[in-house]
Amino acid sequence: MTTDTTGAATGADDTAIRALLERARDAWNRGDGAAYGACFTADAVDVTFVGTVYRGGPEIGRAHQALFDGFLKGTRMALEIVDVRVHGDSAVVVTRGEVAKRAPKRLGKVATYTLVRDGGDGDGDGWRIAAVQKTKRRPLMESVSFRFQPATRPA
């Protein structure tokens, strides 16, 4: 494992972590719930931006397949990785993203992923998603907060 002095992932870990999130996005874009669920650990937790909590890769895959077959049919996931930090055998990844049938005008959701090194399943990556928390971004509320309390603005 290679990290810089801040914990930011570099080298093979960074590549493997980004590849895992790319596999998750590709599974979503294909509407493949089983492949999406396979990106998660058996005891993973997925908290959606509406507050639904799914537990375990199999349940996450099953539930998402029902979503892909229903109102999420034909959607595509846009994903931008903002930060990757490795801490021993775990990593924290912050992303911006959106799910839509057309290319989004802006990435309105933020997700924080906790990944764990699990030895892989023969594909050589060794990482799985242990938890993800998705939040819908509220730019207007941020703006108001920053205007009235400038010290709350991130660096």
- Digit-coded pLDDT (tens) for 5-48: 455 666 889 999 999 999 999 999 999 999 999 999 999 999 98
Give the model's pLDDT for residue 127.
96
Residue 123 has pLDDT above 90, yes or no: no
The stretch 67-88 carries a mean pLDDT of 95
| Percent of the chain residues past pLDDT 70, beyond the cut | 89
For residues 13 and 125, the model is more confident at 13
What's the DSSP call for residue 117?
Answer: E
- CB within 8 A of 55, min separation 6: which ones? 43, 44, 45, 46
Give the model's pLDDT for residue 3.
43
For residues 151 and 94, the model is more confident at 94
Fold observed for domain 2-152: Nuclear Transport Factor 2; Chain: A, (3.10.450)
Cα angle: 39, vertex 134, 85; to 5 degrees? 65
What's the DSSP call for residue 72?
Answer: T
